[in-house]
Homo-oligomer: A and B are copies of this chain.
Amino acid sequence: MFTYLLPHVEVLDDDALATIDRGWRRLLAEIGVSFDHPEALRLLRAAGQHVEGDVVRLDPEFVLAQAALAPSSFTLQARNPAHDIVIGGDQAAFLPAQGAPFVRRGGARRDGTLADFADLVRIAQHLDDIDSPGGLPCEPNDRPLDSRHLDMTSALLKLSDKPIMGGQISGDAARDSIALARIALGARFADGASLFAVINVNSPLHFDGRMLEALLAHAEAGSAIVVTPFLLMGAMAPVTIPAALVQQTAEALAGIALVQLVRPGCPVVMGSFLSNTDMKTGSPGFGGPESAIGLLASGQIARRLRLPWRSGGGALTTSLVADAQAAYEGTVTMTAALQAGANMVMHTAGWLEGGLTTGFEKLVVDIDILRTLRAVLTPLVVDEASLAFDAHDEVRQGGHFLGAAHTLTRFRDCFYRPLLATTENFERWTRNGARDASERATGIVDGWLAAYEEPPLDAGIRAELDEYVVRRRRELGD
């Protein structure tokens, strides 16, 4: 895991924070949030909130009191305890891109398959930079829709021993993933959060029935709930960043308050995913300055609320391929997420095409970006020894440091060693095929997959997982 040791970058002053605070309070109290689920409405009504149809107007003080029941940081358990991670505080966890129906691999774009899904889980398991494979690194389109979640959770638990995301597109998916995680983690399951679920708000100000079904199931099981407003300004939010921040805070807190009614103390994460519509075309835009500013502000708001925070991005981009656009848009949002102090960075690596595609080559690009930024955010040690006066005394005016004693004792690890970036000169680069970064990345993916080792899994547990999947697949009619 990565620990933040430098001060975060902040863009809001106290006045701005107070104005945003007034804004979300008014939104919850006067406009309210709709919940498309009777149990959610029942819980909120019983807690004294004003329910009219499916619209609930919430008391801001109640919402804050509920949010205060959640831990400001918690451990997310992995099948292998050595891979447990901490969500919150000064810690950052990194997850690959999630949710894409397509993959781009070796120059071609096509429907994702379970084989792609498995390879992405293997890569997430292999890389120390990645703390969790998440739950949906791409959509396995070749599997039947009703039971696809079984293939996914089972593959996640077998191919990786890092913490995973549970099913969340329905109550069935949620409950099945909980059952499978319970088998895999055994007695440890009950010790804390053993799954997490990302519950997207159907913004503006609406939670749909299937998401609420998953929220309720996961909250009952004590999974960590990442309540994430998905805001494209101009579509699901107004076109001013402060308005989107107010809406994001109101929606996230409404969901978090509900989680705490189901299970007081349940770990939650304040989610954010704030970008904008391209107003010329109506298409979604990702990776621009609005996302970056939104991230920096969101981090401040989450810290003020003492809640762990998931950043929307990651290395976001609307680019179709792992080109210059993909890299600069991705670097801009990733830098903002890290400088804002994100605790859980989803879509760290592989995101393309506004999230429609997981790119294997883009994943390599993004890992090099992540490693570079982690190095930038590592405090510089400045002491007398670091000044290397002896080296200057040895080399003097007009000399060269390559052979200096100071260099010779440090040359192996004195600088960051890039994963993908080349320092080849033009002649050597041309001789080696004149390949750009995206072309070179394919070989790195192959190397990772070759180096991957499947983590050990007790044969009894494996059989139990398989039995569960076979039985449930039959019950679901696939």
Distance between Cα atoms of A32 and B424 in the complex (Å): 35
A210 to chain B, nearest CB (A): 14
B397 touches A19 (CB 8 A): no
Distance between Cα atoms of A417 and B279 in the complex (Å): 9
With A204-B395, A325-B327, A407-B234 known as contacts, the answer to whether A417 contacts B382 (CB < 8 A) is no
B423 touches A388 (CB 8 A): no
A111, CB-defined interface residue at 8 Å: no
A387 touches B23 (CB 8 A): yes
Per-position contact with B for A405-421: 1 when CB-CB < 8 Å, else 0? 01100111011111011
Which residue on B lies nearest to A332, using beta carbons? B372
Chain copies in the assembled complex: 2
A323, CB-defined interface residue at 8 Å: yes
A145, CB-defined interface residue at 8 Å: no
A402, CB-defined interface residue at 8 Å: yes
Contact partners of A278 in chain B: CB under 8 A: 415, 423
Per-position contact with B for A295-318: 1 when CB-CB < 8 Å, else 0? 001000000000000000000011
Distance between Cα atoms of A284 and B424 in the complex (Å): 9
Tell me the residues in window 390-408 of chain A with beta carbons closer than 8 Å to chain B beta carbons.
391-393, 395-402, 404, 406-407
A1, CB-defined interface residue at 8 Å: no
A414 touches B279 (CB 8 A): yes
A239 touches B19 (CB 8 A): no
With A241-B380, A279-B414, A398-B204 known as contacts, the answer to whether A423 contacts B328 (CB < 8 A) is no
A380 touches B242 (CB 8 A): yes
Which residue on B lies nearest to A55, using beta carbons? B397
A155, CB-defined interface residue at 8 Å: no
Contact partners of A205 in chain B: CB under 8 A: 392, 396-398
B328 touches A34 (CB 8 A): no
A437, CB-defined interface residue at 8 Å: yes
Contact partners of A240 in chain B: CB under 8 A: 386-388, 406, 410, 414
Which residue on B lies nearest to A417, using beta carbons? B280
Which residue in B243, B297, B319 is a CB contact (below 8 Å) of A391?
B243
Per-position contact with B for A328-339: 1 when CB-CB < 8 Å, else 0? 111110011001
From A6-14, A61-69, A170-178, give the one contacting chain B: A6-14
Most chain B CB atoms below 10 A, which of A399, A400, A404, A415: A415
A380 touches B293 (CB 8 A): yes
A261, CB-defined interface residue at 8 Å: no
B284 touches A423 (CB 8 A): yes
Which residue on B lies nearest to A372, using beta carbons? B289
Contact partners of A416 in chain B: CB under 8 A: 288-290
A451, CB-defined interface residue at 8 Å: no
Contact partners of A442 in chain B: CB under 8 A: none
Distance between Cα atoms of A384 and B427 in the complex (Å): 59
A169, CB-defined interface residue at 8 Å: no
A436 touches B324 (CB 8 A): yes
A456 to chain B, nearest CB (A): 35
B380 touches A33 (CB 8 A): no
Contact partners of A252 in chain B: CB under 8 A: none
Per-position contact with B for A355-398: 1 when CB-CB < 8 Å, else 0? 01100001001001100110110011111101111011101111
Which residue in B31, B277, B297 is a CB contact (below 8 Å) of A380?
B297
A165, CB-defined interface residue at 8 Å: no
B239 touches A407 (CB 8 A): yes
Which residue on B lies nearest to A364, using beta carbons? B324
A16, CB-defined interface residue at 8 Å: yes
Distance between Cα atoms of A204 and B425 in the complex (Å): 24
Distance between Cα atoms of A406 and B381 in the complex (Å): 50
Contact partners of A386 in chain B: CB under 8 A: 240-243
A326, CB-defined interface residue at 8 Å: yes
Contact partners of A423 in chain B: CB under 8 A: 278, 281, 283-285, 318, 354
